[in-house]
Structure 1
Amino acid sequence: MNLFLLLTREAVIMKLDQIKNNLLHTGVAIALVAGMASFTLPSAYAGGKITIDDTKWISIGMGMRMSYNAVQNFSASTGARALGATGLVAPGYSANPLSGADYSSDFGLNNARIYIDGQIHKYIKFTFNTECFNCFIGGNAAVFGGNSSVGMLDAIGKFEFNRYFNIWAGRTLVPNTRGELNGPFYHQTFEGFKTPFFPADFSGNFNGALGAFTSAPGQAGLYGRDNGVVFFGDLEIPQPWGNNGTLQYSTMISTGLKSAFLLGPNQKESNSWTGRLTYNFLNPEKNPGYYTSGGYYGGAGDILALAIAVQHQKDGAGTFAQRSDFTGLVVDLLFEKPFENNMGTFTFNAEYKHFWADYDKLTGGATAFAGPACFCMFRGTSWTMYGLYLIPHKVGIGRFQPYGRFTSITPDMSSNREELEFGTNYVIDGYNARLSAFYQHGDLYTKGLFYGPIAVGKKVDKFTVALQLQI
């Protein structure tokens, strides 16, 4: 009898513990759902926010971009999908199309990201973002040096004290161009990246891994990110005509290119140094940290922002035998004007780049590009500009934003390339929900990211329809 009572008592206690745990789990789930459903963050942090106490919170968001592309001469029957002289094809690019008239017909997932942000102290925050690195090119993880299809994009510890001085450390964007700091989701056009990349975006992976776009075992980052520390802030600067402008600064020391022993140029493991200054003559821009946007759909008022940035790394380009420093200069401009009386918004972006990488000047790059472990950075000049007009009146659930763009690239060691683009966005909810349709003509697509002496490619027509969603 005593044994029976003891077993019954233990069973009751276990059942009560189970009920308590179920109630606890249910309460947590309800709190999570309620937190996500009841609070939507501004653009600084996408997604829903869960508040833990007065200083601690966490948010989660998601973003995806997909497109349909039809490219002249690029159907399988024309042979245009064959690899060109580089033996490598970057996402969204192909090499050396053969003669033919058939169009390709491809659907692609350009980006699929999860955003996680949080605060653990009044002055300490963090960011952890993921990306589907290989979705656009078929999920072949080996192309990106062993990264899985979904992997870490950003991992940042943030020490944010005031507007004047802040520190981010970890894996984060290198503060060079507005284009890079916009990221793919905050460009005004779907295909925002047109001019040659800085090392952290030209590179196919992080340091020490075999890259997708170069043959070097040493690399310099991925998707514009590098491992390092960023210092940034802003302050008001009086202007001669009486108003105050805003000067934003950001500077980063990062790993940059790190070569293997006797392979690649950077044998002394020098670091990469980057600095950017932006002056807002009219209204200040308000973005997370030192990030930027390609425009604000009129929501920020009058914007006139002029920026200059320099990035330098000793022995940051070339091969072990044909090495050189790398220095990149960029000047970019953003102008946005919302017209009075609800007459729409005009946005204009422009960018000029010049890269110095004087490896193998004697043979014009032929020896370096043919040699082993070449981190063959672009050398030369490029520029792009585009204007957009956001029509004020809604059609259905969104507004149309027609635009035009021109890009020119002049390499020192390769053939020139140009592209003309016309299209329209259908803006439903700013950068959170947008459709795009555009036409391109030129040889940027066919010559791609290869800036060596044997780059070839015809001018082709390309049609794209694209979708961007995020929260």
Structure 2
Amino acid sequence: MACHRHRSNHAAYEWRLGLAVALLAALAGWTGAGALHAQDDVDAGEVEIMEAEAREAAEAPAVETRAAAAAPGSAAGGEARAAAAAPAAAAQDVEAAAVQEPEPLPPISVGGGLQSSFLHHRSNDADASDHLRVNSLRLYLNGAATNNIKFMVNTDIDYGGSLGAPNVGQNTRFKILDAVAQFEMSDTFNVWVGRFLPPSDRANLYGPFYAHHWGVYADGVQDGYPFIFQGRANGAAYWGQFDKVKLSAGAFDGHSTTGVSSLIGAGRVQVNFWDQEPGYYLNSTYYGEKNILAIGLAGQTQAESGNAYSADFLMERKVPGGGAVTLEAEWARYDGLGGYDPRYVMNDGGYLLGAYLFPKRVGPGQFEILGKYARARFREGVTADYNQKTTEVDLNYIIRQFNARVMIFFKDTSYTAVQTDDFQVGVGLQIQM
């Protein structure tokens, strides 16, 4: 009985032990499964966190760039905007370059000028005569190949004289006055090539349309330099403006001008002490628009002919109310080159001109009174030496300066020998556009 009880107790103990082991195994299995599930949950969370961090890291530069671009006054913002705008700007530059047009040239200008007069002429050896004349009819054309390379063409009729009675057989055919290629690079460097007025006296460089008085080039002094037509010659010249000093120098064809094959050298220096006078060509007056005090020296030479040189002076002061007072003078000497009378080697002389432009306007214009006195000598000729004296008085009505003016003129010329005295009175009209 004791053994049986002992075996029964032992069996009960083993059963209880097995049950405990089974329970422990079950508990361990349950705990392990929970731990695995927990580990899976942890791994999934870490993955989600890592993915979120990666997205934030990827988005951070763009956010910083946008923030920097949005920050006003920020250097980083400026760089960001510049970096963002660079491709677009480059594309715009390429597009602009593709469609960019050349800089427009100055427009071509066309103009004209007319001088016409009624002249009563009386000389000692002929009866008085009256004439209605077309003194000058000019056509102007100016254009440009570039902003620095220009072209000028001017023409005039071959009227056969200046102020006096018409020459026998006078015609009205047109001739080339100016035909110039103008390379105008700066105020100090300009080159003209073609036919134009060479460096010479002021009177030649302003011509009849910009002269102060009507009876130009009839006093034995003004513009006695050699020329082909109305003071012009074929050649090339440099000119430049250096503040108040203007310089010009050139070489011109001798054969077409004097019949001698050697070149003619020409030069001029001018100093403006008050207002400047821009450009190559000049004026005799500015009708009160400028204060002028200018002195010019000019000369020309040809090896087989001789020399010519001159000095000119112009002073003009504005008068309150729109008027002006003017003094103009010149002395010239033509020694074997140029001159008024080809029969004489030596021709020299000078003139003095004064004018007053009244400030008060009468109708559309202003009145002006002008007087001129000139003396010239002719020496070393085939006939006797002689002197010329010229006196001129003008009463002018200035409507629009050189574009519209009417001039009543009286001119008396006397000679000591060879030539005959003459007297002229008339009315001249000048229109330009």
TM-score, normalized by the shorter chain, greater than 0.5: yes
**For 2:411, which of 433, 437, 440 is the aligned residue?**
440
Once residues 358 and 303 of structure 1 are traced to their aligned partners in structure 2, the CA distance between those partners, rounded to angstroms, is 31
Contact 2:265–2:300 (Cα < 8 Å) also in 1: yes
> Residue 69 in 1 paired to residue 69 in 2?
no
Structure-2 change in CA distance of 1:467 and 1:388 (3 Å):
same
Name the structure 2 match of 1:91: none
Deviation, structure 1 residue 71: 1.7
Partner-residue secondary structure (3-state), 1:431: helix
Name the structure 2 match of 1:240: none
Partner-residue secondary structure (3-state), 1:426: strand
Name the structure 2 match of 1:32: none
Name the structure 1 match of 2:29: none
> Residue 198 in 1 paired to residue 224 in 2?
yes
Partner-residue secondary structure (3-state), 1:121: coil
> Residue 336 in 1 paired to residue 316 in 2?
yes
Name the structure 2 match of 1:399: 366
Contact 2:271–2:296 (Cα < 8 Å) also in 1: yes
Deviation, structure 1 residue 283: 1.0
Name the structure 2 match of 1:469: 431
Deviation, structure 1 residue 233: 0.6
User: Who wins on radius of gyration, i.e. which is larger?
Assistant: 2
Equivalence map 1:372-411=2 (5 Å): 376=343, 378-411=345-378
5+ residue gaps, structure 2, are 1-101
Deviation, structure 1 residue 438: 1.5
Name the structure 2 match of 1:346: 325
Contact 1:410–1:417 (Cα < 8 Å) also in 2: yes
Contact 2:198–2:266 (Cα < 8 Å) also in 1: yes
Report which of the two has the higher share of helix. Answer: 2
Deviation, structure 1 residue 72: 2.2
Contact 1:111–1:135 (Cα < 8 Å) also in 2: no
> Residue 357 in 1 paired to residue 346 in 2?
no
Equivalence map 1:17-32=2 (5 Å): none
Name the structure 2 match of 1:177: 201
Name the structure 2 match of 1:108: 133
Deviation, structure 1 residue 311: 0.6
Name the structure 1 match of 2:45: none
Structure-2 change in CA distance of 1:192 and 1:358 (3 Å):
closer
Name the structure 2 match of 1:279: 271
Contact 1:200–1:256 (Cα < 8 Å) also in 2: no
Once residues 274 and 134 of structure 1 are traced to their aligned partners in structure 2, the CA distance between those partners, rounded to angstroms, is 27
Partner-residue secondary structure (3-state), 1:72: strand
Contact 1:199–1:257 (Cα < 8 Å) also in 2: no
Name the structure 2 match of 1:233: 240
* Matched letter for residue 327 of structure 1: N
CA RMSD of aligned residues (A): 2.5
Name the structure 2 match of 1:89: none
* Matched letter for residue 350 of structure 1: A
Structure-2 change in CA distance of 1:139 and 1:410 (3 Å):
closer
Deviation, structure 1 residue 153: 1.3
Name the structure 2 match of 1:81: none
**For 2:304, which of 301, 315, 321 is the aligned residue?**
315
Name the structure 2 match of 1:159: 183
Partner-residue secondary structure (3-state), 1:181: helix
Contact 1:132–1:150 (Cα < 8 Å) also in 2: yes
Once residues 310 and 366 of structure 2 are traced to their aligned partners in structure 1, the CA distance between those partners, rounded to angstroms, is 32
Once residues 301 and 337 of structure 2 are traced to their aligned partners in structure 1, the CA distance between those partners, rounded to angstroms, is 13
**For 1:134, which of 159, 173, 179 is the aligned residue?**
159
* Matched letter for residue 214 of structure 2: F
Identity %: 28
Structure-2 change in CA distance of 1:464 and 1:53 (3 Å):
farther
Deviation, structure 1 residue 423: 1.8
Once residues 234 and 350 of structure 1 are traced to their aligned partners in structure 2, the CA distance between those partners, rounded to angstroms, is 23
Contact 1:56–1:120 (Cα < 8 Å) also in 2: no
Q: Between the two structures, name the one with larger relative contact order (CA 8 Å, sep ≥ 6).
A: 1
Deviation, structure 1 residue 199: 4.2
Partner-residue secondary structure (3-state), 1:457: coil
> Residue 412 in 1 paired to residue 419 in 2?
no
* Matched letter for residue 470 of structure 1: Q
Name the structure 1 match of 2:251: 253
Once residues 148 and 337 of structure 2 are traced to their aligned partners in structure 1, the CA distance between those partners, rounded to angstroms, is 43
> For 1:377-420, what per-residue CA distance to the aligned partner results, in whole angstroms no more than 9, with x for missing partners?
65131111111100011112110010111011111133101011
Structure-2 change in CA distance of 1:188 and 1:410 (3 Å):
same
Deviation, structure 1 residue 161: 0.3
* Matched letter for residue 231 of structure 1: Y
Partner-residue secondary structure (3-state), 1:416: strand
* Matched letter for residue 230 of structure 1: A
Partner-residue secondary structure (3-state), 1:412: strand
Once residues 192 and 426 of structure 1 are traced to their aligned partners in structure 2, the CA distance between those partners, rounded to angstroms, is 18
> For 1:240-274, what per-residue CA distance to the aligned partner results, in whole angstroms no more than 9, with x for missing partners?
xxxxxx00011110012459xxxx973xx210001
Name the structure 2 match of 1:451: none
**For 1:299, which of 266, 281, 289 is the aligned residue?**
289
Deviation, structure 1 residue 135: 7.0
Once residues 235 and 343 of structure 1 are traced to their aligned partners in structure 2, the CA distance between those partners, rounded to angstroms, is 29
* Matched letter for residue 277 of structure 2: E
* Matched letter for residue 276 of structure 2: P
Structure-2 change in CA distance of 1:109 and 1:278 (3 Å):
same
Structure-2 change in CA distance of 1:435 and 1:358 (3 Å):
closer
> For 1:120-145, what per-residue CA distance to the aligned partner results, in whole angstroms no more than 9, with x for missing partners?
1021000011111137647947x8xx
Provide TM-score, normalisation by structure 2: 0.69
Once residues 182 and 146 of structure 2 are traced to their aligned partners in structure 1, the CA distance between those partners, rounded to angstroms, is 10
Once residues 336 and 206 of structure 2 are traced to their aligned partners in structure 1, the CA distance between those partners, rounded to angstroms, is 25
Name the structure 2 match of 1:327: 307
Once residues 281 and 352 of structure 1 are traced to their aligned partners in structure 2, the CA distance between those partners, rounded to angstroms, is 20
Partner-residue secondary structure (3-state), 1:190: coil
Contact 1:108–1:135 (Cα < 8 Å) also in 2: no
Once residues 375 and 153 of structure 2 are traced to their aligned partners in structure 1, the CA distance between those partners, rounded to angstroms, is 35
Once residues 57 and 138 of structure 1 are traced to their aligned partners in structure 2, the CA distance between those partners, rounded to angstroms, is 39
